[in-house]
Amino acid sequence: MLAATTGIIAVGLLVAGCTQAGPNEPVGEPRSGGTLTYASGDAEPSCLDPHVGGNFPQALVSAQYLESLVSRDSGGRIIPWLAESWTPSDDGLTWDFTLRDDVTFTDGTVFDAEAVRANIAHLQDPTTLSSTGYLALGKVAGVEAVSSTVVRFTLSEPDSALLESLSQPWLAMESPTALLRSQDENCASPVGTGPFIVESWVKQNAVTLVRNDDYVSPPADAGHSGPAYLDEVIWRFIPDSASRYAALQAGEVDVIDNAQPDTIMQAEQSDAIEQLDSPRPGAANRIELNSGQAPFDDVRVREAFIRSANVDDAVSSLFQGTATRSYSALSSVEATAVSNAALFDYDPAAAATLLDEAGWTESDADGYRVKNGVRLSVEFPVSTNQSIPAEQSVFEQIQATAKETGFEVKLAPLDLSSWYAALAANDYDAVSAPYTKVGPDVLRILYHSDSIVPAPSGYFANLAQVSDPDIDELLTTAARTTDADERRDLYSDAQDRILEGFYVLPLYDQQNHFLLRSDVVGLRTLPTVAVPTLYDAWLNR
């Protein structure tokens, strides 16, 4: 048992890329009891049910009380969770999931095929206002309960990403009885099968979770079985990063997320605080260049911009080694990620020649390039909600270095809605938009020309406005292909074309750093979307 525990943690840490072994190793036998306070820097969700809307803050907290049909291990393989096994039909259009028969929701409702059907229905019901889950189920035509333990998904076309989609917290299973309640009630206290139960939620302050003593259904890669160790979890929302870290220092809280680079560096010095780094899956953090309009409709200008931006120095100075530079469109945790450093060297000279070739020959008083009277300027709206300060500083440094080559980068920090508005109005030349989704299928969402067509809300995911039939072709086939190797090849071809087209300037993985008091042991993140799970965590006090 102990061996298993540490072993698994070791695996988890391999991924984490940062040892959680503090000075107070070796840790003793896990002890039950105690209250853990988690301080989240993400915005407080407006609804604790991740079906509604579906953003990362919801994923973070709901992972403590909701569980999905499947999960993913640190190697990226899909592993059983609430579903013990699954079998796709040969045409890939129907999937049968065999469910655990020993699981009940914390309100006593039995977890069965009917429950799954109800959940999928709930997700696809427009009045639920689901967005993430809704999109992920785009190809799911229908769900039926074959038996109490077998549920069948019928697809409109093969979907190689189905399992990855189902592994995400936004598609987690909730008690159908609870789902019948009004949305307000369900938002305030969603009912799942997880190791903890939502006890109360004081808006603007904290969510209180208590242990689910009847818990039986940890994912296959969990550190132990049976109920969680912690009695209680206080889930606080402290948006101000400085206050959050100070609170951790003062021992007011035990775990914080969205740790800023400088605080991570401080934590390295301190014995009392440990770090847990677990990059998010899906796309890397990158700057997308709007190839849909001038000046970036010209590949030479796109390359020139990328070559003129000194990203390496910016990242090293601002992230102080807490983030590694990425040369890929995908997160480094994606097995299928293709990385090509050569394309992204900082080379002002090359950039200059490229601009000359592209016709941006003259330059004006301020040293900016000009082409027939038009200054070479780049509109760059920045979402202050989605880009942490360090990242905004990276942009500022890119602005500064690109200036030397003659780019005028106009940074415009905006609140979320104005930012979306700017994108919807196609009022941008460069933009950075994180996108978290399990698996390489994220590429289809981000770079398939279909995604240029705005949703009713005006939002569209293909912000680089990549419109390349070949890429479309590759991505669509990949999404249909269930054979792993074939799929990987298709995706790597697609990535090559995207990278070589200089549509994106990769920066680093979506940062996902946690800091914890060193007496918090066994905390790990789910390899699905890298949200922490407190199931294995215990207090070594």
Partner 1 sequence: MSDLEVRARLATRADRLGQPRRLGVAESVAGMLALLLLVSALAPQLLAPGDPLGIDPLSAFEPPNLAHGFGTDESGRDIYTRVVHGTQSSLLIGAAATAIGLGLGIVLGTLAGMLGRVVDFTVNRFLEVLFAFPGLLLALLFIVIFGPGVATATIAVGLSTAPGYARIIRAQLISVRSTAFVEAATVLGRTRWQILRRHILPNTLAPLFVLATLGIGQAIVWAATLSYLGLGAEPPTAEWGAMLSAGRTYITSAWWMSFFPGLFIVLTAVTATVLGRGIDRRMRHL
Partner 2 sequence: MAESVVRRRAALRVLGRLAGRLGGALFVLWAVASITFFAVRLIPGDPAQAVLGGPGSQASPEALAAVTAEYGFDQPVIVQYFAQLGRLATGDLGRSYALNMDVGPLVLSQLGGTLVLAVLSLALAWLLALALATWSTRGGLVAARVATSLEIVAAALPHFWLATSLIVVLSIWLGLLPPISTGGVAGLVLPVLTLAIPLAGFLGQIMRESLLTALESPFVLSARARGESERGALWIHALRHASLPAISLSGWAFGSLISGAVVVETIFARPGLGRTLLGAVTLRDVPVVIGVVMIVAVAYILMTLLTDAASRLVDPRLRLS
| 517 forms part of the interface with partner 2 (CB under 8 A) | no
User: Shortest CA distance to 31 belongs to which of 426, 522, 483, 415?
Assistant: 522
| 246 forms part of the interface with partner 2 (CB under 8 A) | yes
**For partner 2, the closer CB: 346 or 435:** 435
Greatest Cα pair distance, the chain, in angstroms, is 75
- Name the helix (H) or strand (E) containing 71: strand 70-72
| 268 forms part of the interface with partner 2 (CB under 8 A) | no
Q: From the list 455, 470, 483, 500, which residue makes contact with partner 2 (rule: CB under 8 A)?
A: 455
**For partner 1, the closer CB: 313 or 362:** 313
| 317 forms part of the interface with partner 1 (CB under 8 A) | yes
**For partner 1, the closer CB: 114 or 396:** 396
Smallest distance from partner 2 to CB 191, Å: 18
Three-class HEC string of 391-441:
HHHHHHHHHHHHHHHCCEEEEEEECHHHHHHHHHCCCCCEECCCCCCCCCC
Smallest distance from partner 2 to CB 196, Å: 21
**For partner 2, the closer CB: 373 or 456:** 456
Q: Rounded to whole angstroms, how far apart are CA atoms 352 and 534?
A: 52
**For partner 1, the closer CB: 400 or 484:** 400
| 246 forms part of the interface with partner 1 (CB under 8 A) | yes
- Number of CB atoms found within 10 A of residue 386's CB: 14
Cβ contact 86:79 at 8 Å: no
| 154 forms part of the interface with partner 2 (CB under 8 A) | no
Cα-based distances in Å from 98 to 69, 87, 103, 115, 116: 10, 9, 13, 13, 11
Beta strands in 228-297 (DSSP E): 232-237, 255-256, 273-277, 285-289
- Per-residue b or e along 471-488, where b marks 16 or more CB atoms closer than 10 Å to that residue's CB: bbebbeebbebeeeeebb
* Binders of partner 2 in range 352-391 (CB under 8 A): none
Smallest distance from partner 2 to CB 475, Å: 19
Residues 6 or more apart whose Cβ sits within 8 Å of residue 396? 411
Q: Rounded to whole angstroms, how far apart are CA atoms 11 and 8?
A: 5
| 183 forms part of the interface with partner 2 (CB under 8 A) | yes
Q: Rounded to whole angstroms, how far apart are CA atoms 454 and 339?
A: 29
With CB under 8 A as the contact rule, which of the stretches 167-175, 234-242, 299-307, 308-316 interacts with partner 2? Answer: 234-242
Smallest distance from partner 1 to CB 412, Å: 8
Q: Rounded to whole angstroms, how far apart are CA atoms 529 and 414?
A: 26
| 270 forms part of the interface with partner 2 (CB under 8 A) | no
Structure tokens, 397: 């440094």
The pairing of beta strand 150-155 with beta strand 94-99: antiparallel
Q: Rounded to whole angstroms, how far apart are CA atoms 323 and 90?
A: 42
Cβ contact 193:81 at 8 Å: no
How many residues at the interface with partner 1, by CB under 8 A? Answer: 29
**For partner 2, the closer CB: 103 or 442:** 442
**For partner 2, the closer CB: 346 or 420:** 420
**For partner 2, the closer CB: 53 or 439:** 53
* Binders of partner 1 in range 392-431 (CB under 8 A): 392-393, 396-397, 400, 411, 413, 415, 418
Smallest distance from partner 2 to CB 244, Å: 8
Q: Rounded to whole angstroms, how far apart are CA atoms 46 and 52?
A: 9
Residues 6 or more apart whose Cβ sits within 8 Å of residue 246? none
Q: Rounded to whole angstroms, how far apart are CA atoms 392 and 398?
A: 10
**For partner 2, the closer CB: 143 or 422:** 422
Smallest distance from partner 2 to CB 187, Å: 6
- Name the helix (H) or strand (E) containing 134: helix 132-136
| 242 forms part of the interface with partner 1 (CB under 8 A) | yes
Q: Which residues pair with 481 in a beta bridge?
A: none
Q: Degrees (nearest 5) of the Cα angle 297, 377, 415?
A: 95
Smallest distance from partner 1 to CB 480, Å: 44
| 386 forms part of the interface with partner 1 (CB under 8 A) | no
* Binders of partner 2 in range 25-64 (CB under 8 A): 46-47, 52-53
**For partner 2, the closer CB: 26 or 126:** 126
User: Shortest CA distance to 41 belongs to which of 279, 260, 237, 319?
Assistant: 237
**For partner 2, the closer CB: 153 or 419:** 419
Q: From the list 262, 297, 450, 493, which residue makes contact with partner 1 (rule: CB under 8 A)?
A: 262
| 237 forms part of the interface with partner 2 (CB under 8 A) | yes
* Binders of partner 1 in range 202-241 (CB under 8 A): 240-241
With CB under 8 A as the contact rule, which of the stretches 72-80, 239-247, 351-359, 464-472 interacts with partner 2? Answer: 239-247
Which x/- pattern over 412-431 shows residues binding partner 2 (rule: CB under 8 A)?
---xxx--xx-xx-------
Residue type, 153: F
Q: From the list 26, 29, 90, 127, which residue makes contact with partner 2 (rule: CB under 8 A)?
A: 127
Per CB under 8 A, residues contacting partner 1 are: 240-242, 245-246, 249, 260, 262-263, 265-266, 310, 313-314, 316-318, 384, 389-390, 392-393, 396-397, 400, 411, 413, 415, 418
**Positions in the binding site for partner 2 (CB under 8 A):** 46-47, 52-53, 126-127, 129, 131, 134-135, 183-184, 187, 202-205, 236-240, 242-244, 246-247, 249-250, 252, 415-417, 420-421, 423-424, 455-459
